[in-house]
Structure 1
Amino acid sequence: MTASYCVVGGGISGLAAAHRLRATLGNAVDITVFEPADRLGGVLRTEMLGGIPVDVGAEAFVARRPEVPALLAELGLADRQRTTTGVRPLLYSGRLLRSLPQGTLSGIPSSPESMAGLVDTETLDRIAGEPARPLTFEPGSDPALGALVGDRFGAQVVARSVDPLIGGVYAGSAATIGLRSAVPGLAIALDGGASSLTEAVRRALPPTSSEPVFGAIAGGYQVLIDALVRSSGLRWVQSAVTQIDPVADGWLLRDTAGGFHRADRVVMAVPANVLARLATGFAPTAAAAASRIVSASSVVVAMAIPAGTALPDNSGVLVATGERLNAKAMTLTSRKWGSWGYAGKLELLRLSFGRFGDSRTRASDGELVAWAMQDLEAVFGVAVDPVEVRVQRWAAAMPQYRSGHASLATGLRAGLPPTVAVAGNFLDGIGVPACIAAADRAVAAVISATPAP
């Protein structure tokens, strides 16, 4: 009999899991993916803007991690990987544009010089004197990043250097995200006995490299989504799963259309809150862990504007905490990636809104576009005249990696039955590479599992 695998969730985690199942098991299995949306891909979404494909969800991946380049090569898409132009981002702080500090680790300074011009003299003196102050750090602990950095270097470093980077990645703040999730290399250095935070940062700084940090896909992430659908040979059921029950020979899934589906193995690739609801009956410990993970909403306002608009030759702008702007970040897409095939016609840019607890993500499309225009004029001194605008909302799409998150994820996985595994951006990292890694891990787990008696 052909084995049946069900994947609940059709975002990048679910599609990567479906691909890995097919690549590992061949045609000996049926693979069904449940996704109620009108498209597959989750927060990877490519739209046409001014006739140009633009990613309006995740737009880049960390190129130094192996997962995305390896997957692209496996799918025959290695030639689609693109790199940045090499221009650097800016920081908006104190109503001024500044160069993003160098010699920092996720915005945490390795010396007073790395914060020069960004913080006041008192803070610079505090950074300089930090190595002489006794450091009490319990190995294995996971304090909030903001509390640790604020205690050692001061509040200005958190607000003006660390928060802009953390907000861009997690749609949260250093006040809530845990050290081990935000900067794992720094945690390792502190565990290893670094005598000060300055020393730990210096130990954890990656070696200088000419290799690009970020990559993207020519044609947008839709190219990857389409390839994963083809490679997996999945069957898409455009319904949400409402209930999962153990049966003698596996699992029985019920969907919103009233259908029933039997599965030998299940990969859950849904948001944490959905996992918490679905797993309550058959994995209460895992469900309880999932229910403790909260998420932030975000909004992307993408614009196509006339070529030649007076913008700096930089990749974008990160916004410090407390500035009189509504956006948390601006990406000058054409400057960051280059104008492939449309140079001289249009320029593309994106503005990102929303941190955890930020009510501005609930504003109307008109308000968000107006804020975007105001922010662009405030930062760059130009009044842009968009050719086309797209507002893309991502409700509760950004999990918050609070203190103790790694232990929470470990307990969640441990609470699942052997023939059910979990993947998603709320486990080991929010980026696309981490989602692919989690999907591969989930597939390996369910393939090797022995059903519970």
Structure 2
Amino acid sequence: MEKLKRRIVIIGGGLRGLTAAYEIDKAIRKQNLPFEYVVLEDRSAVGGMIHTIEMDGYAFDVGASAFDSRRADISGFFRELGLESEIQFSKGGKLVLFDGYAVIDDGMPTYHGIPLFPNGIWQANGLTFDAKLRAFMNSLFLSKNLHENPEYSTDNFLEFRLGREVVDYMAEPCYPDNVYGSMELMPVKLFDDNLVTIFGRAHIGKNKKEQLLRFADGSGQEYTFKGGLTTLIKSLAQHSEGHLYVNQKVKSLSSVAEDLLLIELNGRESMRAGSVLVTTNPQESLSFLEGLTSEVAIPKAESTSVGTVFFKINKTAVKNPPEGQGFVIPRKSSYHTTKVVVLNNKWPLLEQAEHYYILVEFGRRLEETLIELADALVMEIIKNEVKEILTLAEEPLQVIFYRWEKAVPHFSLQQRQEMLDDDYPVDREYAKRGVFVGGNGMAGYGMENAIIEGKRLADEAIRYMKEMEKNNSPN
């Protein structure tokens, strides 16, 4: 029984779970701790939304696609894993706006499509004069700090600072739900804290040009690995070799003693543990977490499905190639496509490739109609949109469709206010039982957040297990 109490179970083999496993493994080895750990993944392979395919000698990420150097600095983690030499940075400028009728390629410096400086508003060709005037005046004279109040969403914050048109046509298309969540449901500090630094106060551009230009969209701001993001997953999985178990779906989680948990697997098998880390999406974990305690209610999330379509196209067939990395498309257009990235224009390794390789993203919150259609029909719809946007003279050589069902959980703004509390009852009550709950959307989105959260969950579990070991020691 003592051995079972020293086991840490990690539920979920995505980037969060594998990062947590790596940190726990490192702590056990370095500190010579008497603990063991296992990772349970209900799918046939680890990696979550990271999926790399190989074609024509190249690696392509068709799920999660890149890290952003303007978000949290996690470079030390890659150095520790020995992967620093495998990193490649983006090139080819930035994504430009396709409003459904024409390409709008404004020359001013932007951050996620938003002009970095007040005078850049006047160069935004897609805005009406009234919208430009409102955005300019707000950015200069209004200084209400909405970012300090969690009752206001990022959407509220940006509308107050820059106006509705800027939000709809410039910001929203450049903030995909699967990477940042919904700006309508997230407080700005949780959504993207850089927005506070850049737009949080009046006169932000004055005497700060050089400091702010480091945020500008363009070459070098995104990075991945030469062999795709699977390089990271393989490295983490290798460190946990012998501890990973796939095709293991958790059915229930319960307490069988004060410091012992029972995990029911696949309806037949079971496993006991002293501590459990939950790293799966909230809509997946809700089913087995609800029964653990009746003292608090786990927040229920609504979820969005997203998809990608990968194209291989003859270069001579593209009559309207973008000068930058590709296009983003606003919600108010008639297109289902949200982003078109010409991978040859983005990644140096593909610069001399014989064909164009294009990745299209689609799927937004409250827009589930397309994602629910049959694969062949979705591919045909997206293919026709790409043919129109790029003015293709012939059919693509290859089209591959990928669906990520219920991949992006969304919590209400009120739920977020509760979850941001330092003494959040759910965290407190579950932690008392040795259960530490994370997962996509719980404390943010994106791969950077997944690594940070995986590290935090591992630290909390190790700290808890040490305390339990101390309490159970006969000395």
TM-score, structure 2 normalization: 0.84
Letter in structure 2 aligned against 1:219: G
Q: Could you tell me how far apart the structure 2 residues matched to 1:245 and 1:23 are?
A: 28
Task: Give the corresponding residue for 1:238.
Answer: 247
What amino acid does structure 1 have at the position aligned with 2:46? Answer: L
Deviates most, 101-110 or 379-388: 101-110
Check if 1:222 corresponds to 2:225: no
* 3-state SS, counterpart of residue 415 of structure 1: helix
Q: 1:333 aligns with which of 329, 335, 343?
A: 343
Q: Shift of the alpha carbon at 1:173?
A: 5.0
User: C-alpha displacement at 1:206, in angstroms?
Assistant: 5.5
In structure 1, what is the equivalent of residue 19 of structure 2? 16
Instruction: Quote how far apart the aligned CAs of 1:283 are.
Output: 4.0
1:146 Cα deviation from its structure 2 partner: 2.5
Shift of 1:60: 0.2
Output aligned runs, 1:434-453, within 5 Å.
434-449=449-464, 450-451=467-468
Give the 5 Å matches for 1:48-67: 48-50=54-56, 52-65=58-71
Q: Partner of 2:325 in structure 1? A: 315
Structure 1 69/304 Cα, relative in aligned 2: closer, same or farther at 3 Å?
farther
Other structure's SS at 1:430 match: coil
1:130 is displaced (CA, Å) by 2.1
Corresponding residue for residue 168 of structure 2: 159
- Report how far residue 242 of structure 1 moved: 0.8
Note if contact 2:279-2:439 (Cα within 8 Å) is conserved in structure 1. yes
Q: 2:431 aligns with which of 381, 401, 417?
A: 417
Is 351-360 or 229-238 further displaced after alignment?
229-238
- C-alpha displacement at 1:408, in angstroms? 1.4
Which 5+ residue runs of structure 1 have no aligned equivalent? Answer: none
Secondary structure of the 2:430 match is coil
Of the candidates 419, 423, 433, which is equivalent to residue 408 of structure 1?
419
Q: Report the Cα distance in structure 1 between the residues aligned to 2:107 and 2:436, rounded to whole angstroms.
A: 41
Distance 1:200 1:142 in 2: 27
Work out whether 1:114 is the aligned partner of 2:121.
Answer: yes
Contact 2:151/2:413 (8 A) holds in 1: yes
Secondary structure of 1:288's match? Answer: coil
Measure how far apart 1:19 and its partner are: 1.1
CA distance in 1, matches of 2:10, 2:361: 31
What is the CA–CA distance in structure 1 between the aligned matches of 2:407 and 2:431, rounded to whole Å? 26
* CA distance in 1: counterparts of 2:390 and 2:80, whole angstroms: 42
Kindly state the Cα deviation for residue 144 of structure 1 after the two structures are TM-superposed: 2.2
User: By how many angstroms is 1:347 displaced?
Assistant: 2.3
Aligned partner of 1:382 in structure 2 is 392
Alignment match, 1:7: 10
Match of 1:264 in 2: 274
Q: Deviations over 1:369-393 (max 9, x none)?
A: 2222222232222245322222111
Counterpart position of 1:296:
304
Q: 1:376 to 1:446 in 2, by over 3 A?
A: same
CA contact (8 A) 1:36 1:238 kept: yes
> Aligned pair in 2 of structure 1 residues 82, 132: CA closer, same or farther (>3 Å)?
closer
AA aligned to 2:220 is P
Distance 1:114 1:376 in 2: 29
1:129 lines up with 2:137 in the alignment: yes
Does the 8 Å contact 1:296/1:399 carry over to 2?
Answer: yes
Measured after TM superposition, the shift of residue 406 of structure 1 is: 6.0
Matched, 1:208 2:213: yes
Task: Quote the residue 1:31 is aligned against.
Answer: 37
Instruction: Show the counterpart of 1:370.
Output: 380
Task: Write out per-residue CA displacement over residues 328-361 of structure 1, whole angstroms, 9 at most, x where no aligned residue.
Answer: 1111112101344x83432211110100111211
Q: How far apart, in 2, do the equivalents of 1:164 and 1:334 lie?
A: 21
The Cα of 1:402 is off from its aligned counterpart by 4.8
TM-aligned CA deviation for residue 15 of structure 1: 1.0
Contact 1:302 1:349 (8 Å CA) reproduced: yes
TM-score, normalization by structure 1: 0.88
CA distance in 2, matches of 1:281, 1:329: 40
- 1:235/1:174 Cα in 2 relative to 1: closer, same or farther (>3 Å)? closer
Give the CA deviation at 1:367: 2.0
Question: Partner of 1:355 in structure 2?
Answer: 364
Q: In structure 2, what is the Cα distance between the partners aligned to 1:383 and 1:345? A: 17
- TM-aligned CA deviation for residue 74 of structure 1: 1.9
Distance in 1 (CA, whole Å) between partners of 2:78 and 2:276 is 25
Q: Secondary structure at the match of 1:367?
A: helix
Note the alpha carbon deviations across 1:286-323, whole angstroms, 9 max, x for none.
Answer: 6423x1x3221100001122244432232121112211
Structure 1 residue 23 displacement after superposition: 1.1
Structure 2: how far apart are the matches of 1:115 and 1:205? Answer: 20
CA distance in 1 between partners of 2:88 and 2:183 (Å): 31
Q: Is the 8 A contact 1:32 1:237 kept in 2?
A: no
Tell me the distance in 2 between the aligned counterparts of 1:346 and 1:268: 42
Q: CA deviation at 1:34?
A: 1.3
Identity among equivalent positions (%) equals 20
- Point out the more displaced range, 362-371 or 294-303: 362-371
Runs (5+) with no aligned partner, structure 2: none
- 1:442 deviation in Å? 0.5
Amino acid at match of 1:122: D
Structure 1 residue 362, shift from structure 2 partner: 1.1
Q: Secondary structure of 1:230's partner? A: helix
- Amino acid in structure 2 at the alignment position of 1:75: L
**Counterpart selection for 1:79 from 71, 85, 88:** 85
Letter in 1 for 2:292: F
From 242, 252, 255, the counterpart of 2:262 = 252
